[in-house]
Amino acid sequence: MSGTDKSKTGLSLDGPIVILVEPQLGENIGMAARAMGNFALSALRIVNPRDGWPNIAAQRAAAGADHILEKVELFDTVEQAVADLDLLFATTARPHDQAKPVVGPEAAASEIAGHVATGGKAGILFGRERWGLTNEEVGLSNRIITFPVNPGFASLNLAQAVLLVGYEWFKRATSGELPHAMPERSERASQHQMQAFFDNLIRELDKVEFLRPAEKRDTMLVNLRNIFSRMEPTKQDMHTLHGVVMAIAEGRKGPAKGGVLDGEQATRLRALLAEHGQGGVPDSGSTVRGLARLLRRNPTDAERLLWQALTRDRRFAGQFKRQTPVGRHIPDFVSFPHRIAIELVNPGEGEAIAADRASRRAWLEARDYRVLEIRAADVERDLEAELVRLAGMVEQGA
């Protein structure tokens, strides 16, 4: 498995010494060193390597474990290689009929950890690729390590055997801690968010008559709700799912031309954006860009009426822009010549939207913009009265 993060510092642990007895292939030495590096084993001794040392094939196969190969200790005999050790294990897949304890790699790792912790010096013998260790070499050890493998196919590659022992040692030394976990990108969605999403989903499903027949509607709704509850979605998940539903729904109207959101739909979208802290300009990596785009491309009836008036009325023609960033904020309409921002207030807006709008207003007013809040209901009921209010602001600033 590839993917070493070179920005992270490797661990340095006091562990057992790995002793390779008369290894035949340089590639196996290199792969054994690589396995050692994976599990923070750094001390490697080699007894009489067949092809001599240093070995270019070993360096190539080590895949970055050069720090281990550079410190290799060479010995002519096994006796010399283990002379300074006071706890020695011999790895073998074959019974050697010797009266000494036989343990698995996990038990060996546990004993080695305790021994090293008290100042002891431990080592593990690994035999030749073709026939392993001799009886005499196994006789030098205090314990035998063998592996729980298929008895009909028990032979392991040299590097595999080193890796298995190294894995158990490292797991024991680090309490099995994993190097990384799933990142927490967003806190869990609130019941309010879940309900807002579910209400919107039901509304769109009703439009396409999905919840049929009528007598099964309640059961289907419970099943649907349970699907999302089992997910334990985050706020980020809810933003994404809501955007998916809205994109599908509005896509049927043709997103290039722009659909029409009713006031309630617009309010829900604004609430989601406000809760996510996206009252400003959504950045290029934001998963809520789709929601902001829906608001821009699919204005409500009130927004359409007001925008048509601003573009056609001689008092304002060419002076206002719709959904245009001012710094990091996007008011509904803005006039840069007159430094006026218009905020359209939809019915039923909650605290999140109100707080978001207040923050945006404070930011704009601190930069000498005047902010006019217009209720969507007033636009639909008496548009001309609101235009008169706006004209008054324009004249005051002239």
241 and 350 assigned to the same domain: no
More confident residue, 75 or 183: 75
CATH code for the domain in which residue 368 is found: 3.40.960.10
Residue 226 within any structural domain of the chain: yes
To the nearest whole percent, how much of the chain has pLDDT over 70? 81
What's the CA gap between 341 and 332, in Å, rounded?
7
Query: Last residue of a domain, which of 173, 204, 223?
Result: 173
203 and 326 assigned to the same domain: no
CATH code for the domain in which residue 138 is found: 3.40.1280.10
Q: Quick check: 373 pLDDT over 90?
A: yes
Residue 127 within any structural domain of the chain: yes
Query: Last residue of a domain, which of 275, 297, 319?
Result: 297
277 and 167 assigned to the same domain: no
Residue 3 within any structural domain of the chain: no
385 and 359 assigned to the same domain: yes
Q: Quick check: 289 pLDDT over 70?
A: no
Count of domains for the chain: 3
Domain of 77, in residue numbers: 17-173
Q: Summarize the confidence of residues 181-200 as an average pLDDT.
A: 76
64 and 80 assigned to the same domain: yes
Angle at 10 between CA 5 and CA 12, to 5 degrees: 170
pTM of the model as a whole = 0.49
Q: Quick check: 30 pLDDT over 90?
A: yes
Q: Quick check: 342 pLDDT over 90?
A: yes
- Give the pLDDT of residue 327: 82
Query: Last residue of a domain, which of 297, 328, 350?
Result: 297
- Give the pLDDT of residue 253: 47
Q: Quick check: 254 pLDDT over 50?
A: no
Residue 11 within any structural domain of the chain: no
74 and 198 assigned to the same domain: no
